[in-house]
Every structure is written in structure tokens, then in C-alpha cells.
């Protein structure tokens, strides 16, 4: 087992994606350190070490990386449609600062491996499964002008560090992710957690942003976390790899599944095309992940949505 007894840092380990990476690492026998800033850690394990830190501070970055062999950098900000349609500068700034600080610290500290997240938002618009080598074939979709270009730049920054230092960098481009511990705040949530919350709370009318014909590739967060470990172990060569479900679904179908799982099938569904929905079609080609890593998703969309709804029903009022 590659990760057994290794000292691993997970930035953003108290957040949505980072928390699931931590859980996967614990399954593999790793010793995990998590920097804690504003959000408390919701899981407990004797193999987890928490360290108070502000990762905008270079000294804190160096401190949390002391004696660390591998870093999964999941700290940062994501931008939902409502955010990218308006002012996404906070998300852009947060990711630029945190990632550049941590890469600089990893270079200085001599960290062996480091995972950087790119994003499918960096790709040009396409109506087919887009491949890794098409990232620079055109501009981002207009709705991702700020956020998508920021993710592109972080990839270039990662390439620079990999070329000048001994840090082995794994570079992942994930598609849309959902699951337990997601952000269910209706002001900033992505589409699935927003729809789950509205279904569980029996919102009437049940408003869905867009026409419902938007096409997406949704990946369960547990599959994403598993892919992070495999990629960092097997392909830390700063070569981007798409990680996605490999199948597309229309938002209308997502709505039907969520309402069914929540027992709210009689909801009065209203599609609001005046609301921001970002790109109309997004699917990534996942053949490279399958060939290089042997990675394929294990959680079906139906089971993943059902689990997310049931989890939110249990946790309602606690998050």
C-alpha cells in the first residue's frame, strides 16, 4: 500500500473535497495532517493531526509542510453559476494566493509529491467529450472567463514549479462533483446540492435555474477522492488527467432523480431560464484516466444522488 504510514498533508481537509481525501487516506493507512483555519474538522481519528494555520501566510505554509512527504492541495474556493455570473474575484484571488503560496512552500520544504487541481471550467466550449490536449485550443466559455483562466494559470504555475524543483506534481482536471458534506447554501451552492436542499425542504414552487436541458458530467465525491490518491501515486509528472463520470445527464433528469429520492415527486417544478446556468454542455473524455490509472467510477449517479439526499435529510439543521 503506497500511502501506508506516509506523512500526508491535506489542505482544505475540513472542506468538502478535502474531507473525502482524508477519509480515503485513512483507509490506506496514512498519517494525515490538516491545517485548520475557520472551519472545524467534523471527523475524528487518532491518525489525524490538526494544525492551526492561515495558508495566506508563507511561514504557516512552511510550518504545515514540515516533514510532509505528500500534499493534497484541496484548499481554495469554488464558484457556482450565481458567482461566476457576477463577481467571481474572491474565488479567483483565493485560489491564486493559496495555491501559489503552497507550491512555493513545497518547493522550499522539499515535499516529494503535490496534487494540484485544474478544472474542466478551463476548457473551451465543446459539444463532445473534450480531451486533455484541447485545453489551449480556444478561450474558455464566457461564463468561466475569470475562474476558468485562473485554473489555467495555476496549471502553468504547477508546470513551472515541477520544471525548476524536485517536487513531483500530479495535475487533475475534475468535472462537477457532488455528495456528502457539499455546500448546501442556496446563495453559493452548485446545482445538485441546491436542488437537494429544495427537495428536502419541500420548496413550492420547486425552482430550477435554466431550461433543464443543460448537459453535465457529475462525479460522486468519493470517486474523486479515490482518483486523487491513484493519480498522485501513479502519475505525478505534471501531465493533466481528466477525472469524470464519463457519462452525461440533463439537469431535468437530475431533478427527477432527486425529487424521487426525497419523496417529493409531486413537486411543482418551474424552470427559470433567466437565471445563470453557465455552459450548456460539458463532458470530459476520461479515456486517459482509464488507460493510465485504471480509474473508473464506482458510484452510479442514481445511487450517489440517493445517498446525498438521504444524508442531507439526516443532517438537516446540523450543517
Q: pLDDT tens across 226-269, in order?
A: 999 999 999 999 999 999 999 999 999 999 999 999 999 999 99
Which residue segment(s) compose the domain that 146 sits in?
7-181+218-245+282-298
In a domain? residue 126: yes
In a domain? residue 251: no
Tallying the residues shown for the chain, one arrives at 319
In a domain? residue 288: yes
From the number of C-beta atoms within 10 Å of its C-beta (0-12, 13-18, 19+), residue 90 rates as: exposed
Q: φ, ψ for residue 230 (rounded to 5)?
A: -65, -45
Determine what percent of the chain is predicted with pLDDT higher than 90.
89
Report how far residue 161's alpha carbon sits from residue 39's, in angstroms, rounded to the nearest whole number: 29
| pLDDT given for residue 5 in this prediction | 97
| pLDDT given for residue 83 in this prediction | 47
| pLDDT given for residue 313 in this prediction | 96
| pLDDT given for residue 217 in this prediction | 96
In a domain? residue 156: yes
CB 115 within 8 A of CB 72: yes
Does the bond joining 205 to the residue before it have cis omega, within 30 degrees of 0?
Answer: yes
Lowest-confidence region among 29-38, 101-110, 184-193: 184-193
In a domain? residue 124: yes
| pLDDT given for residue 276 in this prediction | 74
For 69-115, what is each residue's pLDDT tens digit?
Answer: 999 999 998 766 554 545 678 889 999 999 999 999 999 999 999 99
Helix orientation angle between 301-315 and 191-200, rounded to the nearest 10 degrees = 50
In a domain? residue 192: no
| pLDDT given for residue 247 in this prediction | 95
In a domain? residue 272: no
Report how far residue 253's alpha carbon sits from residue 222's, in angstroms, rounded to the nearest whole number: 22
Checking phi first, is residue 246 left (phi over 0); if not, alpha (psi -120 to 50) or beta? Answer: left
| pLDDT given for residue 79 in this prediction | 64
Task: Tell me what the pLDDT averaged over the chain comes to.
Answer: 94
| pLDDT given for residue 87 in this prediction | 63
Terminal Cα-to-Cα distance of the chain (whole angstroms): 34
The string of DSSP codes covering the chain is -TTTT-EEEEETTTSHHHHHHHHHHHHTT-EEEEEESSSPP----TTEEEEE--TTSHHHHHHHTTT-SEEEE--S----HHHHTS--HHHHHHHHHHHHHHHHHHHHHT-SEEEEE--GGGSPP-SS-B-GGGTTSSPPPGGGHHHHHHHHHHHHHHHHHHHHSS-EEEEEEE-EEE-TT----TTT--HHHHHHHHHHTT-SSEEEES-S--EE-EEEHHHHHHHHHHHHHH--SS--EEE--S--EEHHHHHHHHHHHTT-TT--EEEETTS----SB--B--HHHHHHH-----S-HHHHHHHHHHHHHHHTTT-
CATH code of the domain covering residue 167 = 3.40.50.720
Over range 299-319, report the average pLDDT: 92
| pLDDT given for residue 306 in this prediction | 98
Report how far residue 286's alpha carbon sits from residue 276's, in angstroms, rounded to the nearest whole number: 27
- Which band of pLDDT confidence, cut at 50, 70 and 90, is reported for residue 319? low
| pLDDT given for residue 288 in this prediction | 98
- Which band of pLDDT confidence, cut at 50, 70 and 90, is reported for residue 38? confident
Q: φ, ψ for residue 277 (rounded to 5)?
A: -130, 0
Q: Residue 24: is its pLDDT beyond 50?
A: yes
**Total number of domains constituting the chain:** 1
- Which band of pLDDT confidence, cut at 50, 70 and 90, is reported for residue 303? very high
For 203-213, what is each residue's pLDDT tens digit?
Answer: 999 999 999 99
| pLDDT given for residue 243 in this prediction | 98
pTM assigned to the model? 0.95
Lowest-confidence region among 62-71, 72-81, 213-222, 276-285: 72-81
CB 313 within 8 A of CB 200: yes
In a domain? residue 188: no
Over range 59-65, report the average pLDDT: 98
| pLDDT given for residue 98 in this prediction | 97
Task: Identify which of 136, 165, 164 has the alpha carbon closest to the alpha carbon of residue 149.
Answer: 136
For 106-164, what is each residue's pLDDT tens digit?
Answer: 999 999 999 999 999 999 999 999 999 999 999 999 989 999 999 999 999 999 999 99
Amino acid at each position: 500500500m503506497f500511502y501506508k504510514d506516509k506523512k500526508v498533508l491535506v489542505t482544505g481537509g475540513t472542506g468538502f473535497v478535502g474531507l473525502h481525501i482524508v477519509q480515503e487516506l485513512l483507509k490506506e493507512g496514512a498519517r494525515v495532517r490538516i491545517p485548520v483555519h475557520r472551519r472545524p474538522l467534523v471527523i475524528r481519528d487518532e491518525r489525524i493531526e490538526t494544525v492551526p494555520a492561515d495558508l495566506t501566510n508563507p511561514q504557516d505554509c512552511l510550518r504545515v509542510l514540515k516533514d510532509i512527504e505528500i500534499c493534497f492541495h484541496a484548499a481554495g474556493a469554488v464558484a457556482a453559476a450565481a458567482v461566476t455570473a457576477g463577481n467571481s474575484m474572491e474565488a479567483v484571488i483565493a485560489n491564486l494566493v493559496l495555491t501559489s503560496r503552497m507550491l512555493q512552500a513545497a518547493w522550499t520544504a522539499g515535499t516529494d509529491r503535490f496534487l494540484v487541481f485544474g478544472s474542466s471550467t478551463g476548457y473551451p466550449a465543446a459539444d463532445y467529450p473534450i480531451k486533455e490536449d484541447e485545453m489551449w485550443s480556444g478561450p474558455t466559455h464566457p461564463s468561466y472567463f475569470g475562474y476558468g483562466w485562473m485554473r489555467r494559470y495555476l496549471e502553468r504555475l504547477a508546470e513551472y514549479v515541477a520544471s525548476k524543483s524536485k517536487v513531483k506534481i500530479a495535475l487533475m482536471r475534475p468535472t462537477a462533483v457532488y455528495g456528502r458534506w457539499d455546500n448546501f447554501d442556496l446563495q453559493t451552492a452548485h446545482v445538485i446540492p441546491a436542488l437537494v436542499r429544495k427537495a428536502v425542504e419541500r420548496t413550492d414552487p420547486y425552482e430550477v435555474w435554466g431550461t433543464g436541458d443543460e448537459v453535465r458530467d457529475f462525479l460522486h465525491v468519493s470517486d474523486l477522492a479515490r482518483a486523487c490518491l491513484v493519480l498522485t501515486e501513479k502519475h505525478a509528472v505534471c501531465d493533466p488527467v481528466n477525472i469524470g463520470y464519463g457519462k452525461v445527464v440533463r439537469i431535468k433528469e437530475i431533478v427527477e432523480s432527486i425529487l424521487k429520492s426525497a419523496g417529493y415527486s409531486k413537486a411543482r417544478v418551474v424552470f427559470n431560464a433567466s437565471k445563470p446556468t453557465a455552459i450548456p454542455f460539458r463532458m470530459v473524455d476520461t479515456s486517459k484516466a482509464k488507460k493510465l490509472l485504471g480509474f473508473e467510477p464506482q458510484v452510479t449517479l442514481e445511487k450517489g444522488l440517493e445517498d446525498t439526499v438521504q444524508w442531507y435529510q439526516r443532517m438537516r439543521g446540523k450543517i
